[in-house]
Chain A
């Protein structure tokens, strides 16, 4: 039983393309997140949704558009991909106290 699952695990694409990553959690949490881990392994929050509403947007370029169809799902769509978007993107969800649980990550490589 995977608690936070994301697909696909790997994406390889050309600059300028559009790609999406899907995330689902079966923990019953109200809050979901997208984090980005760069090549130096630094982790930074991108977005947070609480019960389908956007509550945190960390000045991410508007080429990145998250969508939460319901509180168990949070998808990430990226338009016009750039080389600097290459990273590992982690979905997460949290309990009301903020305790965070991560998905397995989606490694995006832009060529």
Chain B
């Protein structure tokens, strides 16, 4: 099956710092999403981004499908950005959508 690798596994930032999270995947995909799991366990859909670039406030994401990676940028980080960031991809071979998740990047933003 498809492999999804995220880096770094852990990250500690001072509030106000910027960071880049990376997701590499092993095959061509037709769906890529970024999720944030907050400290209360909620999984929040950040971006649906199988290709191209999107921005939402302080967050932006870029997927280069031909090179099989995606990047999530967090600017001016805040303590509320803490949690785990997951990348998930789907091959969609016609058997239904089946997202494969990476192991996540654990982010802690400190004052």
> Which of B31, B97, B104 lies in contact with A41, CB distance below 8 A?
B104
Interface residues of B in 8-50 (CB under 8 A from A): 30-31, 33, 35, 37, 41-45, 48
Number of cross-chain contacts by CB at 8 Å: 57
A61 in the interface, Cβ–Cβ < 8 Å? Answer: no
Q: Considering only CB atoms and an 8 Å cut-off, how many residues of chain B contact the other chain?
A: 24
Interface residues of A in 54-100 (CB under 8 A from B): 55-56, 58, 88, 90, 94, 97-100
B5 in the interface, Cβ–Cβ < 8 Å? Answer: no
- In the bound complex, do residue B103 and residue A42 qualify as a contact, i.e. CB atoms below 8 Å apart? yes
For B84, what are the chain A residues with a Cβ–Cβ distance below 8 Å? 41
A25 in the interface, Cβ–Cβ < 8 Å? Answer: no
Bound state CA distance, A97 and B84, in angstroms? 24
> Which of A43, A56, A94 lies in contact with B86, CB distance below 8 A?
A43
- In the bound complex, do residue B41 and residue A99 qualify as a contact, i.e. CB atoms below 8 Å apart? no
- In the bound complex, do residue A99 and residue B33 qualify as a contact, i.e. CB atoms below 8 Å apart? yes
- In the bound complex, do residue A100 and residue B99 qualify as a contact, i.e. CB atoms below 8 Å apart? yes
Bound state CA distance, A56 and B104, in angstroms? 24
Given known A98-B31, A98-B92, contact A48–B43 (CB-CB < 8 A): no
A-side interface size class: 20 to 34
For A101, what are the chain B residues with a Cβ–Cβ distance below 8 Å? 45
- In the bound complex, do residue B45 and residue A56 qualify as a contact, i.e. CB atoms below 8 Å apart? no
B98 in the interface, Cβ–Cβ < 8 Å? Answer: yes
Task: Kindly list the 3 A-B residue pairs having the minimum CB-CB distance in the complex, ordered from nearest.
Answer: A98-B97, A55-B96, A102-B43
Q: Which residues of A contact B (CB under 8 A)?
A: 31, 40-45, 48, 50, 55-56, 58, 88, 90, 94, 97-102, 104-105, 107
